[in-house]
């Protein structure tokens, strides 16, 4: 384990010895009005733009201009099967097989499509279990599914809550819920990494426990994809969804990803919404054939994909493929560990980190509870050149992303916060 030290010289030394340091230069770093780089710590909300993204999108714009509709077949990267350029690389990021992986739609759309297939309520088993502090969109989505099936969205929702005075969720409590109500629960849907605390859940443990009680299990990995090693295939989860604009740096509102476990790849008995892009590729354009479902995650597609958004994802995934998740996670743990070390030097009277201390139970995000502070402190931090985000009532979330944040970013952030707190 690396022995961290205080002082700027140590941060400079860490950057000098960082084999991924050069990747920072492959991103556009936002600047202040004086042209100085801002300290950007919100990759957990929107990742920075790779400099290569414009080139990738320009290629498709040029092919569109020059080829028109023929670009579907004649473009440098023919559009007809463009999503296939992304499949294997996205599968590598989330620890899945290509047959289990698809890039399509946006996050909550994919979540609903998955619940069409994997939320199969009966009169006696219809409840859905989520985190008590799930991302709001997930909560809204599952409540609407309960109502859609004719159930009360309050009675049908079971919340896995932290214990009194704590922020993190306890697996013993999850086991207790399932022992008491497992026969009532149709679906367990949890965030792979909780957006507020940064807690990275043990997906395999949760899936195994859920399946033991006959529940289907899915995960929203929006804060996990590109951040931690999700190992979705090995987790045994039935499905997972994630966005690509956070740690995957594909641009605001870009397309999302979806995982469907290989064991469901050839099931035609699963209820699903369909469209022509989930139909057999060989006969898709004969137009008059009866629906012939594609196997695997591709079989949940609806429409032909937006190529310009996929081009931005391709730019990012090519970089992820080059670096690999192993090296990214290795640096992430060093970077976040250094951040945690420096923050603790501020003293427990000033701050409290609510993210798990165990590096294997978190990603790069640290959620920092600033004692006796309100949003005015966050505004002062922003004015000092640090881009982070504030979550009510008293938490600042900072995510040092290993592809583009440096150890000197961390040092300078803590120094500026220290000055504000004194």
Whether 58 has a pLDDT exceeding 90, the answer reads yes
Cα 224 from Cα 257, distance rounded (Å): 12
Structure tokens at 194: 């909780």
Torsion sign over Cα 254, 38, 325, 23: positive
Looking at residues 119-138, what average pLDDT do you find?
A: 97
End-to-end CA distance of the chain: 31
pLDDT in tens, 316-350: 999 999 999 999 999 999 999 999 999 999 988 88
Average pLDDT, the chain: 96
Residue with token string 């440096």:
406
Torsion sign over Cα 384, 37, 27, 54: positive
- Of 349 and 187, the one with more pLDDT: 187
Cα 283 from Cα 295, distance rounded (Å): 14
348 by DSSP, 3-state: which? coil
What one-character-per-residue DSSP string does 263-306 give?
GGTT-SSS-----GGGB-TTTGGG--SPP-BPSSGGGG--S---
Whether 173 has a pLDDT exceeding 90, the answer reads yes
pLDDT in tens, 358-406: 999 999 999 999 887 788 889 999 999 999 999 888 899 999 999 999 9
Residue with token string 């560990």:
337
Cα 340 from Cα 184, distance rounded (Å): 41
Residues 6+ apart with CB under 8 A from 231: 95, 203, 204
Looking at residues 268-285, what average pLDDT do you find?
A: 92
Whether 1 has a pLDDT exceeding 80, the answer reads no
Complete domains list, the chain, with CATH: 8-51+324-421 (3.90.1150.10), 82-321 (3.40.640.10)
């Amino acid at each position: 384990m690396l022995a961290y030290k205080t002082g700027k010289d140590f941060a400079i030394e860490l950057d000098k010895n960082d084999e991924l340091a050069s990747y920072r230069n492959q991103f556009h770093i936002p600047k202040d009005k004086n042209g100085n780089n801002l300290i950007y710590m919100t990759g957990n909300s929107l990742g920075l733009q790779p400099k290569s993204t414009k080139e990738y999108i320009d290629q498709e714009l040029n092919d569109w201009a020059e080829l028109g509709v023929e670009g579907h077949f004649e473009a440098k990267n023919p559009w007809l099967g463009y999503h296939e350029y992304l499949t294997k690389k996205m599968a590598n990021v989330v620890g899945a097989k290509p047959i289990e992986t698809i890039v399509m739609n946006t996050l909550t759309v994919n979540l609903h499509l998955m619940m069409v297939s994997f939320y199969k309520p009966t009169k006696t088993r219809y409840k859905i279990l989520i985190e008590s502090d799930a991302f709001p969109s997930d909560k809204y989505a599952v409540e609407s599914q309960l109502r859609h099936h004719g159930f009360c969205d309050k009675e049908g929702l079971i919340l896995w809550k932290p214990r009194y005075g704590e922020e993190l969720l306890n697996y013993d409590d999850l086991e207790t819920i399932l022992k008491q109500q497992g026969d009532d629960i149709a679906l367990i849907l949890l965030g792979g990494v909780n957006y507020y605390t940064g807690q990275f859940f043990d997906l395999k443990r949760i899936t195994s426990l859920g399946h033991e009680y006959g529940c289907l299990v899915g995960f929203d990995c929006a804060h996990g994809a590109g951040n931690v090693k999700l190992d979705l295939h090995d987790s045994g989860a039935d499905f997972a969804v994630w966005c690509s604009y956070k740690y995957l740096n594909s641009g605001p509102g870009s397309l999302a990803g979806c995982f469907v476990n290989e064991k469901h790849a050839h099931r035609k008995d699963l209820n699903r919404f369909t469209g022509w892009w989930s139909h057999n590729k060989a006969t898709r354009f004969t137009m008059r054939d009866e629906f012939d479902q594609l196997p695997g995650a591709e079989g949940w597609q609806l429409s032909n994909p937006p190529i310009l958004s996929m081009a931005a994802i391709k730019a990012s995934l090519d970089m992820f493929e080059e670096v690999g998740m192993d090296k990214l996670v290795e640096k992430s743990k060093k970077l976040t560990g250094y951040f945690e070390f420096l923050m603790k030097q501020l003293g427990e009277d000033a701050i409290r980190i609510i993210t798990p201390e165990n590096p294997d139970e978190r990603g790069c995000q640290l959620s920092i509870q600033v004692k006796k502070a309100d949003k005015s402190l966050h505004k002062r931090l922003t004015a000092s050149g640090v881009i982070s985000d504030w979550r009510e009532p008293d938490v600042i979330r900072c995510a040092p992303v290993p592809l583009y944040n440096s150890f000197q970013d961390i040092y300078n952030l803590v120094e500026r916060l220290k000055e504000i707190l004194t």
